[in-house]
Amino acid sequence: MKANVKYNLVWLIMMVAGFYLMNTLILVGVIDSFIENMLVTIGINIILATGLNLIIGFAGQFSLGHAGFMAIGAYATAIVTQTASTPGGFYASIFIGIVISIIAALIVGVPTLRLRGDYLAIATMGASEIIRILINNMKITGGAAGMFNIPQFADWPTVYIMVCVTTIIIVNFIHSRAGRAVKSVREDEIAAEAMGINVTKWKLAAFVLGASTAAVAGSLHASYLQTIAPNDFGIMESISILIIVVLGGVGSITGTFVAAVVLGVLDTVLQNFGALRMVIYAAALILIMIFKPSGLLGTWELSIKKIFSRSKRKERVES
């Protein structure tokens, strides 16, 4: 048990160090608001993509509807902070977004999660589009014009902490009894069921957890950007999250981080290429996939535990 404390401590120190590093860089002026913008976008994408990776990579359920849940969180925050324009209101709005997205995920997931593969993908895509179209036609959401002048409560420290928190939740979920159950569903539903795993329940658990982190990302997106519109949450947004997951490696959270950073930086750098940016982006995407078919990192994970035990083994060998 002492070992566990040690590993957790290392992770904690890494997170705090990362925070200080960023803070210092901002104070020194290395990170200006342009780079900060990029980092925040990357952070939000990490939250979205780890959640989707949980659903696709670990539970093996091909969902293409992540943007819909993101939209729920974003609009919850936009609407709530319009009247309750305080940090408290903002955190309450995140919570409300999570609750609504959980309900939506249950409504979508209970019937559709029995579908397989591409059929599930298209059903979840449809569900997400339905959410978007409803938002597009509602009064409270501002319709197609979306909402702007949303008060900004999510600055980069908020996003940083939320990235840490959601990642901790998802990673701890994966490395636990729940995560094993979810992975067994991915591997073989029939065998899992025969071993006492309630397949429906665990699929749903992963789906709901992924959806609620997407809602958190949506809240951050709305509050940081201060403007949202239904078109931000279309099929293309779901696809761009999927791209991060696959590019990083389906089933690797570390990979998701790497891919989110790589794509985020790539996208920002390409901003200098004007009209060619999307052409280069597309070509890069194809080439990476052809030369790295299982994603940048495959299923490799960074693990402090493994590093420790490896160095220990080395010591033993040397002595």
Distance CA 49, CA 35 (A): 20
Distance CA 7, CA 3 (A): 6
Q: Out of 14, 140, 144, 307, which residue is the one contacting another protein (CB under 8 A)?
A: 144
Stretch that binds another protein, among 20-28, 96-104, 210-218, 310-318 (CB under 8 A): 20-28
Q: Out of 30, 103, 133, 307, which residue is the one contacting another protein (CB under 8 A)?
A: 133
Between 86 and 172, CB nearer to another protein: 172
Q: Among residue numbers 254 through 293, which ones bind another protein (CB under 8 A)?
A: 267-268, 271-272, 274-279, 281-283, 285-286, 289-290, 293
Mapped onto helix, strand or coil, the DSSP state of residue 100 is: helix
Binding to another protein by residue 302, rule CB under 8 A? no
Look up residue 105 and give its amino acid.
Answer: A
State how far the alpha carbon of 120 is from the alpha carbons of 156, 181, 186, 234, in Å: 35, 20, 14, 17
| Strand ranges, E, within 229-318 | none
Q: Is 36 exposed, middle or buried (0-12, 13-18, 19+ CB in 10 A)?
A: middle
Stretch that binds another protein, among 47-55, 92-100, 195-203, 210-218 (CB under 8 A): 195-203
Distance CA 290, CA 270 (A): 21
Q: Out of 94, 154, 199, 211, which residue is the one contacting another protein (CB under 8 A)?
A: 199
State how far the alpha carbon of 228 is from the alpha carbons of 215, 221, 243, 300, in Å: 14, 8, 22, 35
Q: How far is the CB of 55 from another protein (least distance, A)?
A: 12
Distance CA 152, CA 131 (A): 25
Distance CA 319, CA 314 (A): 9
Between 99 and 151, CB nearer to another protein: 151
Size of the site for another protein (CB under 8 A): 112
Task: Convert residues 86-125 into a mask of x (bound to another protein by CB under 8 A) and - (unbound).
Answer: -------------------------xx-xxx-xx--xx-x
Nearest of 55, 103, 3 to residue 308 by alpha carbon = 3
Binding to another protein by residue 303, rule CB under 8 A? no
Binding to another protein by residue 26, rule CB under 8 A? yes
Stretch that binds another protein, among 89-97, 188-196, 210-218, 307-315 (CB under 8 A): 188-196
Between 118 and 314, CB nearer to another protein: 118
Q: Among residue numbers 27 through 86, which ones bind another protein (CB under 8 A)?
A: 27, 29, 32-34, 36-38, 41, 56, 62, 82
